[in-house]
Structure 1
Amino acid sequence: MIKYDLYIDGKWTASTGSRRIEVEDPATRQVIGSVPRGTEEDVNRAVAAAKRAFPAWSQMPPQERGAILRKAGELMEQRKEEFARVISLELGMPINHVEKWHLKSSIREAVYFAHMAENFEYEQEAEGGLVRREPFGVIAGLTPWNYPMEQITMKLFPAIAAGNCTVLKPSQATPLCACMLANVFEDAGLPAGVFNIVTGAGGEVGNCLALHPDVDMLTFTGSTSAGKKVGALALSTVKKITLELGGKSPLIVLPGADLKAAAEEAVHSVFMNTGQTCCAYTRMLIPRQHQQEIESLLKEEAGKYKVGEPSDPKSDIGPLISQRAFERVKGYIEKGLAEGAKMIYGQTPSGIETGYYVKPVIFSDVTNDMTIAREEIFGPVLSVIAYDTVEQAIEIANDTPYGLDSAVYGPDQEAYEVGCRIRAGGLHINGADYRMTCPFGGYKESGLGREGGTYGFEEYLEIKAVFGK
């Protein structure tokens, strides 16, 4: 049993409340740990600690801040096996994939944003004056369970490197690895108050942080519905917000594309992490004349993925995060069948046995007005939509309230031209992967602001115009 208290002002400290949140292993439904259910008073203590630490931390030379962050990355590398074990337990991600999907990027981000802090041009001459970039102050981070470490580091590493102090509320489903990060920061020499953790419920701790007058910026990743609510609360005190929200990302296959590569990409994107990825290509748009061939390739590729216990190194797909998620995904699969989609791979879940397992499903004959094509399922469910013309494919791709990510397979120039007409924050041509040096974020209801790269670093810096004689 793994138990943590709150981490405030450089110390592990008890909550002012008596309630705790139990952390469940979704593969066995056994309780593996617990954290405090934080209170408003706990939030006030953490914010006060961050506010006290800010003057000294923000004035520390960027080279010194960078050195501490780099040391944190080294310690994460040294402790990656323990991080991987805990993430696999609380998330249900197969252990064989945790390091690649949940740790490597975080370790690289420590080095990247340390370098960014050390080399960023904080002052630039402008016509008639000078533009300075300065840290905001206290940053509140509300992070999700589906990438419980990477989403913390992608937000708070640049925030801290830029000179801000932080209060983190990790997801109540996966808070254990976040608490491990506090120990890493402490051992790396981060001053007290720069990084604080208040665990708890989103509607309690998260809302308190959003409304707190001494929180200068709030960064949130989660569902679009939750983002709208917490964003509205944050704006009531006119603080800056960044929101990384939901998606229903399209993958367009053009005539002349490598059909096998496109099928591999679609299946991998939707099945890995048990489909619990906001930018997964859950809508695959294919030329109608190639439908039979692509369906055959998809079924062949899907058969390579093994659903199994996270502790089994041969497993590729683990359980969903919770019973609520299981019931939600099951409902969408049933809805897809009821609305006329054809299940070409998989089966409808019958019920929960040992853990919250849902075997992957591929639907064909999907139309873009079906529920499974409109709403974010957050499970291993791929919808295949046939089109007759490329213009129709673009229209279907954009017929969504979301705009997080997109992909196009086809002749390079045509794929680029088609992709540039998709209203989404990301475009991947012929399997090109994401890089942390580039910004990540969405159009429309997929969010506000960007993470990653220089753009993600600048999100955590205020802009000041300086005029002098």
Structure 2
Amino acid sequence: MADTLKFTEPKLDNEEDAAFAKAIDVVLSTGKSDYPSYIGGLKVASGMSADVFSPIDNTIIFGTYQEPEEGLVERAVSVAKEAFAKWSKVSVDERISIFEKVVAKIEQQRFRLAAMVSISVGMDKTCALEEVDTLVSVIRNACSDLKKKDGKAQGVWAVLSSYNSPLAAPIGYASVAILAGNTVVMTPSVHSTLPVYYMYNVLVECGVPDGVLNIITDSTSKSSEDLANNLDVIGVAASGSGEKMEDLMFLQADDELKFINEIKGMNPILVYKPANMKSAAKAVLDAAFRFSGQLISSCSKVILIEGQQQEFVKNILAEANSMKITDPTTPDAYAGPVISERKVADFKDMLDSVKSNVIFGGKRIKDPMTENGYYVQPAIVMGLDDEHDLNNMDSALPILSIQVASDLDDAMDIINCTEYGLSAGIITKDEAVSKRFVEEADAECVFVNDRKVPTAASKAIVNNFMD
């Protein structure tokens, strides 16, 4: 049986709002940075550079990254393997001491890191602060667990991540792997350079030796493929969505390769005779469209029972009309942009093919505040064939499909034929139905009424990185 989780969403107060706004100003006023690869503590440039800019406004350019040259992955793994021989012999107490300093630094710079996350990928302040707080929790839990764990480090780990979690996933997985005595070669998203490289420097300043963490930023999936196929890599931790993650499914990796998979899925929700349909509709809307549907936990599909859909649709459309999609650094923003112009094009193409099924949104937003960014009005679609891709495969875009089941049995079949991702949930007042759902839903995490699914890096636990 899957875990059942409950959650009460934290609320920001005015003091936090003000601190976040100040941090945004500080980050925006900081000069441009260069983001080379880091191998064995050395900066490695290739001469093939590209700008790093914000999806909030593509005129905000905060640096350049270096595309890797051929053979750099092999060099990085070799350096990490050499560093492992020494790092794995460092005492547990010393490793924990280093990361206790790291946690203190993160907490001290909480709002600055959240601002970096927001500007880098377009997260609103609530989601950005959750990224930072999740990272703190991941490292703290790993330190605590390590004190009770009598295990052995494994070797060189690859950490592959995308923009869905620009901080908690890459730095969380890397930190836990390193705490466990391993070394890491990381390929973060090009959109994640600002927070990831900041944290790289924090780890080094707090005592992580050269070669223990190595970074290669690559706009393609080539470095990730090379890492996963390198026979000296003992394990891969992958989190996110997009081409980099999709290509992992087709890798001819060694059978002994350890694999931690946290790929974004549809995270479906079943609404069945809820206590309050308006509250249920709002919960689904928030699950679908916070961070414009790009969170690891974002919901892409809601299932209703025939006869209940009319009231649900009326309520979710009313709630959707109140969403404000704008610069996510502003206090009244519901959500911000999608990550890139390419994603805007994907969004348009998907919805153009189902125009008659779009019951809300689906257009690009163009106004003075958003004209240089990648803003779209989240879309709700209904009445698609059961076999349609939008009912079966996650798009990592702000598109919610409403699927209607004939009865509860049919709804459970639909749920269990869905590309889950991390979770499945039900909103209902019927205790017997909720019990059945928890028992039968074949997802890693199941929630009832109060939605909370594991955030990115939920599998970053010490046991996964030690023998």
TM superposition score category, shorter chain reference: 0.7 to 0.9
Partner secondary structure for residue 185 of structure 2: strand
* Counterpart for residue 63 of structure 2: 33
**Range moving further from structure 2, 157-166 or 256-265:** 256-265
1:108 aligns with 2:126: no
Residue of 405, 425, 437 corresponding to 1:418: 437
Give aligned-pair identity as a percent.
24
User: Does residue 1:9 correspond to 2:26, yes or no?
Assistant: no
Offset of residue 427 of structure 1: 0.8
Partner of 1:459: 464
Deviates further, 173-182 or 370-379: 370-379
Q: Classify 1:248/1:231 alpha carbon distance in 2 versus 1 (closer, same or farther; 3 Å).
A: closer
Q: Distance in 1 between matches of 2:44 and 2:362?
A: 46
Give the alignment partner of residue 200 of structure 1, picking from 210, 218, 224: 218
Q: Bigger CA drift: 111-120 or 221-230?
A: 221-230
How many residue pairs match? The answer is 431
Q: TM-score, normalised by structure 1?
A: 0.85
Q: How does 1:92-171 map to 2 (within 5 A)?
A: 92-94=122-124, 96-120=125-149, 122=150, 133-171=151-189
Contact 1:213 1:237 survives alignment (8 Å): no
Find 1:348's aligned residue among 344, 363, 383. Answer: 363
CA shift, 1:226, in A, is: 4.5
Partner amino acid, structure 2, of 1:390: L
**Structure 1 segment 370-389 matched on structure 2, within 5 A:** 370-389=388-407
Q: CA deviation at 1:264?
A: 1.9
C-alpha distance in 1, partners of 2:234/2:315? 50
Q: Amino acid of the residue matched to residue 64 of structure 1?
A: E
2:258 aligns to what? 240
Confirm or deny that 1:49 pairs with 2:67.
no
- The offset of 1:366, in angstroms, is 4.0
Partner of 2:114: 84
Aligned mates of 1:435, 1:424 — CA distance in 2: 12
The letter for the 1-side match of 2:113 is F
Give 3-state SS (helix, strand or coil) of 2:375's partner. Answer: coil
Aligned residue runs from structure 1 range 209-288, under 5 A: 209-223=227-241, 226-227=244-245, 229-230=247-248, 232-233=250-251, 235-236=253-254, 238-288=256-306
Larger CA deviation: 256-265 vs 138-147: 256-265
Contact 1:227 1:243 in 2 (8 A): no
Q: Secondary structure at the match of 1:385?
A: strand
Q: State whether residues 6 and 199 of structure 1, in contact with CA within 8 Å, keep that contact through their aligned partners in structure 2.
A: yes
User: Structure 2: where are the runs of 5+ without partners?
Assistant: 1-31
Instruction: String of CA shifts for 1:181-240, please: whole Å, max 9, x gaps.
Output: 111101211122211112223433222222323222122224486446335546148432
Q: Measure the CA separation in 1 of the matches of 2:99 and 2:321.
A: 42
SS in 2 for 1:174: helix
Partner of 1:434: 453
TM-score for the superposition, normalised by structure 2: 0.85
1:229-279 deviation digits (Å, cap 9, x = unpaired) = 335546148432223224122201122544233212211111101111243
Coordinate RMSD, CA, aligned: 2.5
Query: CA separation of 1:232/1:423 partners in 2, compared to 1, >3 Å: closer, same or farther?
Result: same
Question: Alpha-carbon deviation of 1:413?
Answer: 4.1
Q: Which amino acid aligns with 1:416?
A: K
When residues 257 and 40 of structure 1 are mapped into structure 2, their CA distance, relative to the original with a 3 A threshold, is farther
Which blocks of at least 5 consecutive residues in structure 1 are unaligned?
A: 123-132, 441-450, 463-469
Q: Deviations over 1:325-373 (max 9, x none)?
A: 1111122222232xx4241x32433789421111122223344223321
Report SS of the residue matched to 2:47: coil
